[in-house]
Structure 1
Amino acid sequence: MRLTDVLISIVIPAYNYAKTLPRAVNSVLAQLGDAQAELLVIDDGSTDATPQVLEQLLTEHAGSFRALRKPNGGLSSVRNRGIEEARGQYLIFLDADDEMAPGALAALTRHISSHPDSRLIIGGHWSVFDDGRRVQHAVKPLPATPRQRVRGYLLDKTVSLSNGACAMHREVFAPGNYPEHLRNVEDIPVFAQVLARFPCTVLDQPLALIYKHGDSMRHDLKQSLAAGVGMVDEVFSSARMPQELQDLRQAFLAQRCLSLFRDCYSAGDYVNAKAFYARAVRANLRSLTRWSYTRKAIRLLFK
């Protein structure tokens, strides 16, 4: 297929997910015929059996999808490579331990046809837990203005985005791709720039099954500390965030410090926890009114 023939590209980054990769791949292949779509799997230098599993899948489904392998560089580098290699107008980044929900591609195709100007389509999803429990998350209506959308996403947590449950037009990466120096929270700068600069719509249908597990990069304290508050600079870089929204930076800095405080507190790293809480208060005195955090900070006085 030529670039213009492909409407949607599904990119699956894979790093040491040999066990769950077939589930993710098959969930996409089962519905490729419902849309002008392609599947691309990128192995980020896996050290487990992922290369062998991928080779077997390519044999079983010859000609149905593409795959490539690259040296390990982290999730941002895989997604950026996917942007380069994908031929579709819209991209979905589906994690290798998740699934595309049945009917997702057909629903997205209909939605794009009726909302051709949309550059970010936000769908619902199912959360799947280790005990087999499933919880459906319906998508909420989007606020009307870019300011309200960005504030809802970064500060108020009223706008929720999950990879696999949204589709982005390739135009949205013009202000910036995924920051490769961040090994987690790398999607926040990209989602924020899209909400700030591009037309967005919602599709009230589950697009993905997202499996929840404790070893997620989101729960990696080492990587969270490495990203630190520098992530705030990335989100509010002039290329990504319009000048008229730069006034939200200080409040987001406080929010980021509170998040790092919580992570450090939970991990027993009380020295860093105290430092991040103090910085949050310096950035925004209203942090003192966030009682769930303030109670923990008071407990730190006795540790």
Structure 2
Amino acid sequence: MTEPVEPLISVVIPAYNYARLLPRALDSVLAQGAEDVELIVVNDGSSDHTGDVLADYATRYPRLRVIDQANAGAAAARNRGIGLARGSHVLLLDADDELLPNALATLRKLVAAHPRAGMFLGAQLSVYSDGRERLRLPSPVPVASPAQLARRYLLQKRLSVSHGCSLFRRDLLLQRPYPENLRAGEDIPVFAYLLVSAPVVITREPLARIHKHADSLRHDRDQEEERAATMVREVFAALPASCQSLRKRYAAQRYLSLFRTAVLAGDKATARRFYRSAVHLSVAQALRWTYLRKAIRLFAWP
């Protein structure tokens, strides 16, 4: 009797009220079915027909693992799937996105060639609401110190990581779970940790089709300052000592993001306060031209 093959790659899909689009994501993985790939879907307390869709697929595809839980957010759903995964590597696919046909074969070859790598970054096809598609290549990741890599990602924004077109070593994800106290940007602390913890491999091969849409959480300003402070704490909670000197400057960067949001909302008084806070934390970060030019206009015309 043939022994079952242990999975190499676990594809984890967190799903919340995506019954209409979920089949597209499921089909994109199942069409590449292989014994060394497992598919896990975490139904995060959906109130639409997501459960029915998954029940139908589980009947037709016995290897599909469906996990039901009360609604706890995307971070909790990802952590649940990662915790139950059996593969040494995990690909996290959003329920409204899809893998491209050769994605898993490409990643399988990369893992074999680079067994020590902690993260594999591929290209993606960004799909917009008007049907346009744009190829986005991964950012080159230099061989550099953890502090240099953290600076490039957190402060200079010269490195980009996205779900769907990235593969992560599961042991690293277990060391730095997604922070469940963040409901937006919860991937930033995880990606920062992965970048500084192990070698990163790049492929220019497109791995996923990522569907772009408006994110209402992005414009939610409720308790925004408190959430920014929580983000800073979470980002630096797991970074090595050599990266901790960047903390104040990253806090300034979060205030600059709040400043930009307040400017767009027409909230001039709050925007001025956020910019002053950024200057207090890091003059160098606050003087980046993309923010300085907005501040000049704001303070020149009350």
Aligned to 2:250: 252
Query: 1:105 & 1:178 partners in 2: Cα distance?
Result: 23
Q: Quick one: distance in 2 between partners of 1:216 and 1:32?
A: 34
Counterpart of 1:9 in structure 2 is: 10
Deviation at 1:254, TM superposition (A): 1.3
Partner SS for 2:175: coil
Structure 2 residue 21 is the aligned partner of structure 1 residue 23: no
| Secondary structure at the counterpart of residue 5 of structure 1 | coil
The 1:226–1:9 alpha-carbon spacing in structure 2 relative to 1, beyond 3 Å, is farther
Measured at CA, do residues 196 and 296 of structure 1 come closer, stay the same or move farther in structure 2, by a change above 3 Å?
same
CA contact (8 A) 2:118 2:197 kept: no
> Does structure 2 conserve the Cα–Cα contact (< 8 Å) formed by 1:120 and 1:169?
yes
Going from structure 1 to structure 2, the CA distance change for 1:95 and 1:223 (only over 3 Å counts) comes to farther
TM-score with structure 1 length normalisation? Answer: 0.91
The Cα of 1:179 is off from its aligned counterpart by: 0.7
The answer to whether structure 1 residue 273 and structure 2 residue 274 are counterparts is no
1:216 and 1:124 map into 2 onto residues whose CA distance is: 26
Contact 1:32 1:105 in 2 (8 A): no
Residues 222 and 95 of structure 1, relative CA distance in 2, 3 Å threshold: farther
Contact 2:5 2:36 in 1 (8 A): no
CA apart distance, 1:174: 4.4
Distance verdict in 2 for CA 1:31–1:223, change over 3 Å: farther
Aligned partners of 1:2, 1:85: CA distance in 2, in Å?
21
CA–CA distance in structure 2, aligned partners of residues 225 and 279 of structure 1: 11
Does 109-118 or 143-152 show the bigger shift?
143-152
Cα-to-partner distance string for 1:205-262 (whole Å, 9 max, x where unaligned): 111111111135444444855522221111112xx11101111112211111111211
The corresponding residue for 2:159 is 159
Shift of residue 36 of structure 1? 1.1
Match of 1:283 in 2: 281
Output the CA distance in 2 between the equivalents of 1:262 and 1:3. Answer: 53
Q: Distance in 2 between matches of 1:3 and 1:215?
A: 41
Match of 1:32 in 2: 33
User: Cα 1:86–1:216, aligned 2, differ >3 Å: closer, same or farther?
Assistant: farther
1:170 offset after TM fit, Å? 1.2
Structure 1 Cα separation of the partners of residues 226 and 55 of structure 2 = 34
Residue identity opposite 1:292 in structure 2 = T
Shift of 1:279: 1.1
Distance in structure 2 (CA, Å) of the matches to 1:2 and 1:196: 37
CA distance in 2, matches of 1:95, 1:193: 21
SS of residue paired to 2:274 = helix
Contact 1:119 1:168 (8 Å CA) reproduced? yes
User: Secondary structure of 1:236's partner?
Assistant: helix
Q: Give matches, 1:1-303, under 5 Å.
A: 5-33=6-34, 36-59=36-59, 61-145=60-144, 146-215=146-215, 217-222=217-222, 227-237=227-237, 240-301=238-299, 302=301
Specify the SS of the correspondent of 1:246. Answer: helix
Following the alignment from structure 2 to structure 1, what is the Cα–Cα distance between the partners of residues 181 and 274? 21
Are the structure 2 counterparts of residues 202 and 216 from structure 1 closer, same or farther at C-alpha, using a change threshold of 3 Å? farther
State the TM-score, normalizing by the size of structure 2. Answer: 0.92
1:142-200 CA-to-partner distances (Å, cap 9, x unmatched) read 11113332221111111110011111111113432111100011111111111112222
Distance 1:204 1:71, change over 3 A: same
Please tell me whether the aligned partners of residues 57 and 64 of structure 2 are also in contact (alpha carbons under 8 angstroms).
no
Contact in 2 for aligned 1:217/1:223 (Cα 8 Å): no
**Equivalent position amino acid for 2:205 in 1:** Q
**Pairwise CA RMSD:** 2.1
1:113/1:151 Cα in 2 relative to 1: closer, same or farther (>3 Å)? same
Q: Is the 8 A contact 2:12 2:90 kept in 1?
A: yes
Q: Which runs of 4+ in 1 moved over 3 A?
A: 1-4, 216-226, 268-272, 298-303
How big is the shift at 1:272?
Answer: 3.3
- d(CA) in 2 for partners of 1:196, 1:171: 14
The number of residue pairs the alignment matches comes to 299
Tell me which moved more, 250-259 or 220-229: 220-229
Change (3 A) 1:69 1:278: same
Q: Which moved more, 1:44-53 or 1:269-278?
A: 269-278
